[in-house]
Chains A and B, each alone.
Chain A
Amino acid sequence: MASQSLAPAQQAAPNSASTPSKPKSSHPPVSILSSQFARGYALVHPAILLSLVAYRFSSVVNDPVAELLSDIPFLVGLQVVYVMGCLPPAGAEKDGNASADGTMRKTPGPKRRGHSASKGSSWSTGLVTVAWKLTPALLSLTLTMLLATPTLALLLVLFGAPLTTHHILTFLCAAHMALLSAFPLIYAHGVDGEIWREIWGASRPADAVWGGALGTCLGAWFGAVPIPLDWDRPWQAYPITILTGAYIGYVIGMLVGRARWVFGKRLEFVPQGARDIKVD
């Protein structure tokens, strides 16, 4: 409860606090890896996810608990393939710098062990890379389940999900959302406090990872809209629309986040020139 400044009105000091103070180059946006597989799969992955949603939709409506539970291994598999195949793990980019078009000069991996995709990959280096990437993937998976899922479940309840019933569904919904949003974030950024402050402040530069996470949340938000309508459709049951919205939002977010005209841009709450304008 800080006392406000005593600045007279002429000094419009307070607004300066609302603009993000971090230098923009300190934590650059995450780029999709430059390998052939990465670029290809980064486009195939959303398509697979959406077709999975479409394919399993009727069984989710019929028995949400069983279906959502049995879907989790598949989702985990898909997301693990995606993050390992397409994203640099946390720390890999420490020295590497991304060029504007999103291609990496340096491929990920332990610094002395870097190899170029153009060299042609031998099986052994491939296996080593996979093994080397598996650890952060598994670690992120654990963190996703232990931290992100309960957090999202709590948020769902706060937004009006039933408090005393439907616990399993809430948790399953949160787990799906966490696998979509938090898992790539943790994989790509680890537990770097500064980056996570940016994430919580929604001030990350746009990229596939952050775009997907934001898209998941916004999609789930919009997914709640049809629930109260009295259409008496079975798919209106909680949490089917929310989860569908989350999937669609995730796909849109990760694609838009990579788009050239969005990539690297940051969300502004208050426009830069707002300090002079007293009305919003």
Chain B
Amino acid sequence: MASSAVPPGREVPTANSLLKQAQAATKDKSKDEVGKESEEEFKSKHLGLLGVFVWILFLHIVGIFYFTKGFLLTRMVLENKSSCDVPPFNEAPRTQQLNDDCWHQKSFDKAIVIIIDALRYDFTVPFAPNEDIESAHLFHDNIPVLYETAISNPQNAFLLPFIADPPTTTLQRLKGLTTGTLPTFIDAGSNFAGTTIDEDNLVAQLHAAGKNIVHLGDDTWHALFPGYFDHDLTRPFDSFNVWDLHTVDNGVNEHIFPLLEPQNYTKWDVIFGHYLGVDHAGHRYGPNHPAMAAKLNQMDKTIREIMSNIDDSTLLVVMGDHGMDSKGDHGGESDDEVNAALWMYSKKGIFGRTKPETVLPPKYARERFVPQIDLVPTLSLLLGIPIPFNNLGSPIEEAFAGPNGNDWNNLVTVNRLASAQIKRYQHAYAQSRGDDGAESQLLGFWETAENELQGKPKNLSTVYDAYRQYQRHTLHVCRGLWAKFNVPSMVQGIAVLLAGIVLLVFYARGLQADRTDITGPFLSRVGLGSVLGAVAGTVLVVIRVTELKVLEASALFAALGSILGASSVIFSTQCLSIPLPNSLWGWLAVVFTVSQSLGFASNSYTIWEDEILLFFLCTFGVVAGVSSMRQGTTTDRVLGVYHSIVFVILARLASLSRLCREEQMPFCRSTYYASSTSSTSAPWQLALPFLVMLILPTVIKGFYDGSKSYEGAAGLWIGIGFRLGLFVTSIFWVLEELDGKDWLPLDSETLKSIRVFLAQLVLGLAFAAGTTAFLYSKPCVSINVAQSAAEPEPTVKRPSSPGEQQLPRTTVTILGFGNVHGTRFFFLSINFCLAIMLMQKPMGQGTMALLLWQILSLLEILDTNSLVTSNSSIGPIVLALLGSFYYFKTGHQATLSSIQWETAFIPLTTVKYPWSPLLVALNTFGPQILTAIAVPLTVLWKRPLQLRDSNNASSKPALKLLSDVAQAAATYILYFSTINLTTTMWAGHLRRHLMLYRIFCPRFMMGAAVLTVVDVVLILFSVAGVRWSTLSVAEIFGW
């Protein structure tokens, strides 16, 4: 009798029927050729399917590109540096200058630059009633020193409104204040990680000029300018704790005043002091609070004390880097947030006013303001250093007008210098970009000014005005280029993404036919549409209807053409139904996806995405448990409920691993690292990788054992290979943690090489050995053929080996028959899981193990609830939810700062392209990658093995399988593309929102990145892997 390993019950007769079919197959000699044909057909259809997914990826890339082009305006970072030896003019009329001066004669030897974070302009001027505010608030008139000195000694001090370019966050502001450029969300620089400023800047120029620079206060400076500050005198303070009003300020005071004492005065040239108390008081209490008044008073005293301690050759600058809104927060671009104050003071008395009406500081911030970037050329020229190369600011008039306000000669000189440098920068920028759009339209202003100067006019003020015009126009044009949203481009991108989603919805959920059948016409129409579109786009560029570049235009029109082509195929298919769910599961999938997508319109739901995902996953688990209770057989019921409970508990367990984003405070406690201020693991967390090594392979074995599939390569792969890889990973992370602790008798170089070797070993095991094994391994079945004289049953043998002669009365025992496809394909998940785990911190390895376990539980739930064979959308959607959920559980957030750049150095010692970005992607998007790999399993796990029915030539189980895989993969993409579309739309819609740069923009970038990664992983590994697993199964069981 033919016995199979499956439990008794309804399976046995079907097993028999299968064997009969197999037997029938062997009888027919021509079956062999049919098998060959089927194999070829399968391979070509599979390739076609990949083509469909490549087209989807193409649509996504075009859509994201067009939206990004209009939304995330990027600016190239030029690495050119100004230097004393190369003045900005071609001619070198340097005769009048002294030798030790640079481009311009310096006015001061030393400078103290005090930044009072969030010092709004109206804090510094006397309260003036207007229609908005009738009586003085607590923040008024509490820091009078700036205004008083500017009034009483105008030659010694001036006070001006100092307007920031949004985003008004300290980091972006410091960039602007030191480089003189405009901020954009992304400065496309060359450095791979971190925030270090690559561009030419004040600090670098001071350093190059041999000045000894001291920094006190906010530690953001150290991230921006590592290595420029005097080690002994500099004192950075943590800037994160906004609840603490005094530590930073008192710390700065404690260290700044000793430096002003005569015996220490020679130890430094420039001091940057950054006070945070005002900012923190604003964040914590808001501006109209006694704490703010007290803080401003303290600042007032501090400034007076510094003033009394400086000598004649020292310039004192006090400024705010941004303002604050009515609640005391900042980041956006409202007036209150961008209005800061600038005050300069010296005992020398060289400041002046050119007009009598400008003697008094402006009453309101919107009068006679200067842009913050003006600080850069002003400070450079006052201190006798070159103007940083990328500067767009202008020298501040008051600082160069001379005590009597009539030193036009000096004003023209400094403005000519600044203008020439701007011109040089614009030229270099245009050259490296390859177009001269902005440069040529502005050259006219420059030439006007030059001509006026050549004409040797009596009144130099017109020359001065001409140079100013050039500078301000350039600034205006650049601001337009770098800070303006291009709405048509954004709309084009959204339209492409939307069309892609509509087609994907019909392809994934509306199409009733075999998806492999329409691949042929689909691809040819798409190809035709793309080619026509590309040609049309090129023509439009050539005849100058559009101003796009050739490549961009042809990509856009190719996308549009292919969308039309695809629609013509999909919507003309007979078997199209309205893609509405018809079961609770389908509705659940829709509700999860749509409600989360809508939630991204709110900053709260974006911030708390991790909790929402947990909520959804638990909902799914509970519904799965309830549904399992309805199942007919006790086995299905018990197993279904058991796995549902496991699923929910694992999700809740994983949710304990958190890395909080700033906005989640104070309702969140980070557990991912040893403490909220460190990025190292706690000692107990190092035990996690070892636990994973012990437990995870056993758990997987349990799932394989359930269908008696722990056969063939499974034992070697899971029990030995995977476990070995996990063990090496554990050792790696222990060594990583020991680094710098001097516990081992090895120097850190040796330790580093050992670590790199171990890491490469694991990656080699996962990817090199793992992939080879995946390509050539047999399915996880064991087939025993035994002689049995008693049973006169028909014989069975493998159809693929016709050479063997049939033996009569044979018993065939097949172990692992029930889950042939699933267990074979799951090897790919194990490979990726190992590699991703290596790239995670110990805590992340624990959660990744939970993820793998949860994926297996999900698959069992799908099986016991008959959701594998019915191609329900819930499987891929829950996988997508799991991927998103575990993104947050591996120490990430939807912020740029949560990217774990250091993981690029796990298996490498230096940055190597393209590997380093790939490694960081493996760390960042590991969970989404792993779930993407598992997507085919939602239709393969315990899929009944079907053989070609000899009576029905049209039944092609392998193609049906392929079609189901395509449907699952398309559904999975559907989730991420919906998220991507909505985050894109919300970011575009809320582009003036206060939280754009902190919340919506990062979430949009994450959505776009995840979608691209998921698409690529599905094409290259997940759907592609189905080819080899199916081939390997078919080799044993026939087509």
Contacts and interface: CB of A to CB of B under 8 A. Distances in A.
B145 interface: no
Contacts of A17: 631-633, 636, 866
B871 A278 contact: yes
B944 A4 contact: yes
A2 B946 contact: no
A158 B817 contact: no
B14 A1 contact: no
A3 B607 contact: no
Main secondary structure of the interface of B (DSSP, over half): helix
B942 A269 contact: no
Interface of B: 4-7, 10-11, 14-15, 17-18, 21, 509-512, 577, 581-586, 602-605, 607-608, 611-612, 614-615, 618-619, 622, 625-627, 629-633, 635-636, 639, 648-649, 651-652, 655-656, 703, 705-708, 817-819, 860, 863-866, 868-873, 942-947, 949, 955, 957, 960, 967
B630 A158 contact: no
Nearest to A225: B595
A271 B602 CA distance: 35
Given A18-B631, A228-B608, A2 B866 contact: no
- Between A5, A221, A224, the greatest number of chain B beta carbons within 10 A of the residue's beta carbon is seen for A5
Interface of A: 1-21, 155, 157-160, 163, 197, 200-203, 221, 224, 228-230, 267-271, 274, 277-280
Contacts of B10: 5, 7, 13
A3 B871 contact: no
Contact of A269 (B18, B630, B863): B630
A4 B615 contact: no
B613 to A, nearest CB: 10
A201 B626 contact: yes
A224 B604 CA distance: 13
Contacts of A158: 618, 648-649, 651-652
Contact of B604 (A6, A21, A230, A280): A230
Contacts of A159: 614-615, 618-619
Contacts of B510: 279
Contacts of A18: 627, 630-632, 865-866
Nearest to B960: A9
23 contacts: A1-B639, A1-B706, A3-B6, A4-B11, A4-B707, A4-B818, A6-B11, A9-B946, A16-B632, A17-B632, A19-B630, A158-B648, A159-B619, A160-B618, A163-B656, A201-B630, A228-B607, A230-B603, A230-B607, A269-B585, A270-B584, A278-B870, A280-B586
Contacts of A20: 630
B630 A15 contact: no
A274 B6 CA distance: 27
Nearest to B14: A6
Contacts of B648: 158
Nearest to B614: A160
Contacts of B627: 18, 201, 269
Contacts of B870: 14-15, 270, 274, 278, 280
Nearest to B702: A1
Contacts of A229: 602, 604-605
Contact of B707 (A3, A200, A203): A3
Nearest to B5: A3
B7 A8 contact: no
Contacts of B586: 280
B705 A270 contact: no
Contacts of B873: 280
B7 A160 contact: no
A7 B944 contact: yes
Nearest to B12: A6
Given A3-B706, A8-B21, A15-B866, 15 more contacts: A1-B707, A2-B864, A3-B707, A6-B18, A8-B14, A11-B14, A18-B866, A19-B632, A163-B656, A228-B607, A269-B627, A269-B630, A279-B511, A280-B583, A280-B872
A21 B583 CA distance: 18
Nearest to B942: A4
A3 B626 contact: no
B709 to A, nearest CB: 9
A224 B608 CA distance: 13
Contacts of B868: 4
Given A8-B14, A9-B957, A280-B581, A2 B944 contact: no
A10 to B, nearest CB: 8
Interface centre among B509, B639, B819, B864 (most CB of A within 10 A): B864
A228 B612 contact: yes
A21 B631 CA distance: 8
Nearest to B706: A1
A3 B7 contact: yes
A6 B707 CA distance: 13
Contact of B946 (A8, A14, A280): A8
Given A14-B869, A274-B870, A201 B655 contact: no
User: Nearest 6 CB-CB pairs, A to B?
Assistant: A1-B706, A3-B818, A201-B629, A6-B14, A3-B6, A280-B586
A200 B612 contact: no
Given A15-B870, A17-B866, A6 B626 contact: no
Contacts of A157: 652
A3 B11 contact: yes
A13 B9 CA distance: 13
Contacts of B626: 200-202
A203 B652 contact: no
A17 B10 CA distance: 12
B19 to A, nearest CB: 9
A92 to B, nearest CB: 26
Nearest to B633: A17
Nearest to A228: B608
A5 B14 CA distance: 7
Nearest to B652: A158
A15 B863 CA distance: 11
A6 B869 contact: no
A2 B635 contact: yes
A134 B15 CA distance: 57
Contacts of B4: 6
Contacts of B7: 2-3
Nearest to A22: B630
A98 B625 CA distance: 31
Given A2-B635, A224-B615, A229-B604, A280 B582 contact: yes
A279 B871 contact: yes
A241 B883 CA distance: 29
A279 B512 contact: yes
Contacts of B612: 228
